[in-house]
């Protein structure tokens, strides 16, 4: 049985991890369309070209590496190259570099394949501008309106960030692939949760991905002197936010499931001065569930709660829905293939849902698509101390290789 070369994969992964690395907090800073993000993309294309593979960037900033002519539908191996601020070494990067390692292994062993292979390093998956940008360009889900209206939490527009990097935002629409040109899409990713690590299982075969929505909420009251404004005469925006935080568990208990999640992850108070009653609270709400109906109920319940809270505290309430992505399910035949290949190597695996969004979710309606997880140590992710063991990385990449070969022969 052909296997991947772990030292070679390790070297490439650690080389990539230097790009956007901040020695102060040991985190990786490669948010979508930042200089570091673009540097990583150019680095990867150079690396692949040195090995004799095709390498190019499409209009959405996605990197494509290739082996074999596109005379037959391609087997695509993908994940994302961008990171959250202060992110870890393996989130996204693992899947892309494992893809390159599969190409290297196939080439080195001169394996004869019927279908060409492509490695896809997607752009802006992590959500600076709403997330899943590059993959939606490939699956043809982008619209011009979306490209022009998307902006980050600091008010920087996606189109401007792209232009700054020498990309024409509208060219992202040209990145779409026809479904008939793709044979399958396979992804390897770290679990980013504690399940595999806690249970001591080296591999996860993912059955589906929770849907997710993101809002930016504004509560506007009145900034007052913290000493002269009596408590009962304030329009304190922070009090509204605090009340909402207490409503979250009730909302999940009433309309959610054990797979529901609601998170307030970013908060800004204005004017943000210790001696001033905060006149404005701007914060994000991110909600998830495996059912789109439940997601709608969660969103409605959040809106109802915020309206009531705003009345109570004399605040103006409005929100912007930055993104809404429904849940998706991996292809049953790919799930079976992954399980069968894991059994062939005598490896234990767990069939499991994914609470986090991944590029694969957009391919599920376009082609045969599947996702492999490996354990995250202590379940830590989106943080500098995110880690996965090298022997798990080797197993995951070998399982990916086996499935790619099966699909491409």
Minimum CB–partner distance for residue 92 and Zn ion (Å): 4
386 is a contact residue toward Zn ion (CB under 5 A): no
The answer to whether residues 101 and 53 touch, using CB atoms and an 8 Å cutoff, is no
Please give the Cα distance from 126 to 128 (Å, whole number): 6
Judged by CB, which is closer to Zn ion: 3, or 378? 378
Closest CA to 102 of 12, 41, 182, 19: 12
> Of the two residues 27 and 92, which places its CB atom closer to Zn ion in the complex?
92
CA dihedral for 41, 47, 48, 54, sign (positive or negative): positive
With CB under 5 A as the contact rule, which of the stretches 83-91, 142-150, 284-292, 397-405 interacts with Zn ion?
A: 83-91
Shortest reach from residue 166's CB to Zn ion, in Å: 25
Given the complex with Zn ion, which of 91 and 289 has the nearer CB atom? 91
Q: Residue 381 CB, nearest distance to Zn ion (Å)?
A: 8
Which one of 87-95, 207-215, 217-225, 377-385 is the stretch in contact with Zn ion (CB under 5 A)? 87-95
Give the one residue of 20, 92, 130, 204 binding Zn ion; rule: CB under 5 A: 92
Give the ranges where 31-153 is alpha helix by DSSP (H): 35-50, 93-108, 133-138, 144-149
Side-chain half-sphere CA neighbours of 24 within 13 A: 3
Query: Which of 66, 92 has the CB closer to Zn ion?
Result: 92
Contact range with Zn ion by CB under 5 A, out of 88-96, 237-245, 266-274, 383-391 = 88-96
Nearest to 208 by CA among 334, 301, 87: 334
Q: Which is nearer to Zn ion, 91 or 191 (CB)?
A: 91
Choose, by CB under 5 A, the member of 37, 91, 152, 402 that binds Zn ion: 91
DSSP string, 168-227: -GGGGGGGPPPGGGEEEEEEEEE--SSHHHHHT-SEEEEEEE-EEEEEEEEEE-B-EETT
- Three-state DSSP class for residue 87: strand
Q: What angle do CA 171, 144, 329 make, to 5 degrees?
A: 95
Query: Considering the complex, what minimum distance in angstroms separates the CB of residue 359 from Zn ion?
Result: 8
3-class SS shares of the chain: helix, strand, coil, % to 5: 40, 25, 35
Q: Is the Cβ of residue 91 or residue 247 nearer to Zn ion in the bound state?
A: 91
CB of 52 to Zn ion, least distance (A): 28
Q: Select 240 or 375, whichever has its Cβ closest to Zn ion.
A: 375
CB of 361 to Zn ion, least distance (A): 12
- Number of amino acids touching Zn ion (CB under 5 A): 2
Name the segment binding Zn ion (CB under 5 A); options: 3-11, 44-52, 90-98, 396-404. Answer: 90-98
Nearest approach, Cβ of 376 to Zn ion (angstroms)? Answer: 11
Q: Which residues contact 198 (CB under 8 A, 6 or more apart)?
A: 379
**Cross-strand pairs, 185:** 76, 369
Instruction: Select the span of 40-48, 85-93, 323-331, 392-400 touching Zn ion (CB under 5 A).
Output: 85-93
Residue 230 class from Cβ within 10 Å (0-12 exposed, 13-18 middle, 19+ buried)?
exposed
Options 84-92, 267-275, 337-345, 369-377: segment touching Zn ion (CB under 5 A): 84-92
Report how far apart, in Å, the C-alpha atoms of 371 and of each of 12, 124, 138, 200, 270 are.
22, 19, 18, 19, 42
Least distance from C-beta 334 to Zn ion, angstroms?
19
- Residue placing its CB nearer to Zn ion in the complex, 81 or 248: 81
How far does CA 287 lie from the centroid of its chain? Answer: 15
**DSSP structural state of residue 114:** S
Tokens of 72: 């037959």
| 235 versus 364: smaller Cβ distance to Zn ion | 364
Identity of the residue, 234 or 288, whose beta carbon is nearer to Zn ion in the bound complex: 288
Closest to Zn ion by CB, 91 or 197: 91
Q: Is 129 helix (H, G, I), strand (E, B) or coil?
A: coil
Shortest Å, Cβ 192 to Zn ion: 7
Give contact residues for Zn ion (rule: CB under 5 A).
91-92
């Amino acid at each position: 049985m052909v296997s991947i070369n772990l030292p070679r994969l390790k070297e490439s992964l650690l080389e990539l991890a230097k790009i956007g690395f901040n020695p102060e907090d040991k985190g990786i800073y490669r948010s979508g369309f930042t200089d570091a993000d673009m540097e990583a993309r150019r680095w990867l294309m150079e690396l692949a070209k040195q090995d004799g593979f095709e390498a190019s960037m499409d209009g959405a900033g996605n990197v494509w590496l290739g082996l074999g002519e596109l005379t037959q539908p391609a087997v695509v191996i993908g994940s994302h190259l961008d990171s959250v601020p202060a992110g870890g070494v393996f989130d996204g990067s693992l899947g892309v570099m494992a893809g390159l390692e599969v190409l290297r292994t196939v080439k080195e062993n001169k394996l004869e394949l019927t279908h060409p292979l492509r490695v896809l390093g997607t752009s802006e998956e992590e959500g600076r501008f709403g997330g899943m940008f590059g993959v939606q360009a490939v699956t043809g889900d982008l619209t011009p309106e979306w490209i022009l209206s998307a902006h980050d939490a600091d008010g920087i527009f996606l189109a401007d960030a792209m232009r700054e990097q020498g990309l024409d935002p509208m060219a992202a629409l040209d990145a779409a692939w026809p479904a008939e040109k793709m044979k399958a899409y396979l992804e390897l990713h770290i679990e980013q949760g504690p399940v595999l690590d806690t249970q001591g299982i080296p591999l996860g075969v993912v059955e589906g991905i929770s849907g997710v929505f993101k809002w930016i909420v504004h509560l506007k009251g009145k900034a007052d002197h913290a000493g002269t404004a009596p408590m009962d005469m304030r329009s304190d925006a922070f009090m509204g936010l605090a009340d909402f935080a207490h409503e979250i568990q009730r909302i999940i208990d009433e309309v959610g499931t054990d797979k529901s999640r609601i998170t307030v992850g970013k908060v800004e108070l204005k004017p943000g001065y210790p001696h001033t009653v905060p006149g404005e609270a701007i914060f994000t709400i991110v909600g998830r569930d495996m059912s789109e109906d439940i997601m709608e109920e969660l969103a409605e319940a959040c809106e109802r709660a915020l309206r009531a809270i705003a009345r109570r505290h004399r605040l103006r309430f409005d929100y912007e829905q930055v993104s809404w992505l429904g849940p998706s399910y991996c292809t049953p035949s790919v799930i079976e293939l992954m399980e069968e290949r894991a059994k062939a190597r005598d490896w234990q695996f767990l069939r499991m849902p994914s609470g986090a969004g991944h590029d694969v979710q957009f391919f599920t309606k376009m082609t045969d698509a599947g996702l492999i997880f490996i354990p995250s140590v202590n379940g830590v992710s989106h943080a500098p101390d995110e880690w996965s063991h090298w022997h798990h990385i080797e197993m995951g990449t070998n399982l990916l290789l086996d499935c790619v070969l099966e699909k491409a022969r």
